[in-house]
Amino acid sequence: MPTRKNKLFIGAAGVALAAGIAGGGVAIAGAGASGGEDDAPSVTGADADQATTAALTATGGGKANSVERDSEDGAVWEVEVTKADGTTVDVRLDGSYGVVVIEGDSESGDTESGSDDTGDSAGDED
């Protein structure tokens, strides 16, 4: 016959197990629901190639890390580019592959912001 101490232990173990399962479920459910930039899948194909070419032209070269569809700031495309100096920027392009804005990639900690259609950052000095 279970003693009071055993019942208390079994009850506490049950509560701990339920809390662990509930916490794990929340963690799994929240894994892709942040709504952040990382949720967008990379795009490939001829249109993505045109977006990449436009972004690399705007940044003066570098390496395109990813191409995504976008809806921020009136943009249709977002191309993440690592420039020759090692900084990473997000180049947002409109439907005609014109530059909407070039901004520092928030995930990498770069802080470049704004540009005109020449691809020059608003904060750069010559």
Q: Where are the domains of the chain?
A: 1-33, 41-104
Dihedral sign for Cα 55, 58, 64, 66, please.
negative
pLDDT at 69: 94
Under a CB-based contact definition with an 8 Å cutoff, are residues 90 and 78 in contact? yes
Confidence tier at 5 by pLDDT (50, 70, 90): low
pLDDT at 96: 95
Tell which wins on pLDDT, 2 or 8.
2
Other Cβ atoms less than 10 A from the Cβ of 102: the count is 25
Q: Which two tokens stand for residue 116?
A: 């005109």
pTM summary value = 0.55
Tens digit of each residue's pLDDT (9 = 90 or more) over 67-113: 999 988 889 999 999 999 999 999 999 999 999 999 997 665 444 44
Tens digit of each residue's pLDDT (9 = 90 or more) over 17-47: 444 444 444 333 333 333 344 556 788 899 9
Q: Please report, for residues 18, 80, 93, 100, the alpha-carbon distance to residue 71 in angstroms, rounded to integers and kept in the order given.
A: 40, 15, 10, 11
> Into which CATH architecture does domain 41-104 fall?
2-Layer Sandwich (3.30)
